[in-house]
Amino acid sequence: MPTGENVTAASLVTGDARHPAVRLERHLPDPPAVVWQALTDREQLRAWFPCDVVVDGGRWEPGAAIEFQFPAEVIDMTLTGQVLEVDEPKRLAFTWGEDTLRFELSPDGGGTHLVLIDELPASAAARNAAGWDQCLDLLAGLQPAADAWKHRFQAYADAFEPVLGAQEGPPAGYKGDKPDRPSR
């Protein structure tokens, strides 16, 4: 799992056993308005999010449909979602397939404290926590080691299995990481 003052390990949130969540936090050096652009601008998302994000009409507004197109060399998969909440530059929430992603931004010194909460199926907690660790490293300008996902996944699986049960690895049809892309 990641270490360092700007990185925290994912924590498990189990208040509702039907909808557990993983929570990750990062301190980013840029102010919330800049981080907001990294969360909502399609070109900037490509640098750190695990797939292309296409918002219907190009505007992040509640009710807008979203399509998540994964690179064919990684997996033949497209997920759909919907924008749930937009409070620029503080909160952004949307569905991502079966998951609900919530991003919370708050000023932290001259930078931003970012919290990502992924409400997900219990069996996907370790996989997604490891994947979001990688993605948020990229967002923070860090380059994870090529095998970092596997180590993170195993650590999270060991931590989460006693609470949530067996943890799933990459989805069926996964072909491997695209260069410069985290495993999800």
What CATH number has the domain bearing residue 50?
Answer: 3.30.530.20
pLDDT per position as a tens digit, 142-166: 998 888 999 999 999 999 999 999 9
Residue 23 sits in which domain range? 19-164
For the chain, what is the domain count? 1
pLDDT at 5 over 50: no
In a domain, 133, yes or no: yes
Q: What is the model's pLDDT at position 160?
A: 95
C-alpha torsion angle, residues 148, 76, 50, 56 (rounded to 10): -170
Q: How far is CA 24 from the centre of its chain?
A: 9
In a domain, 92, yes or no: yes
pLDDT at 123 over 90: yes
In a domain, 32, yes or no: yes
In a domain, 3, yes or no: no
Of the pLDDT bands very low, low, confident and very high (cuts 50, 70, 90), residue 9 is: confident
Give pTM, 2 decimals.
0.90
Q: Which of 16-20, 30-34, 42-46, 84-88 has the lowest mean pLDDT?
A: 16-20
- Sign of the dihedral through C-alpha 176, 177, 183, 184: negative
Strand, helix or coil for residue 68: strand
Give residues with Cβ within 8 angstroms of 148, minimum separation 6: 133, 134, 137
In a domain, 71, yes or no: yes
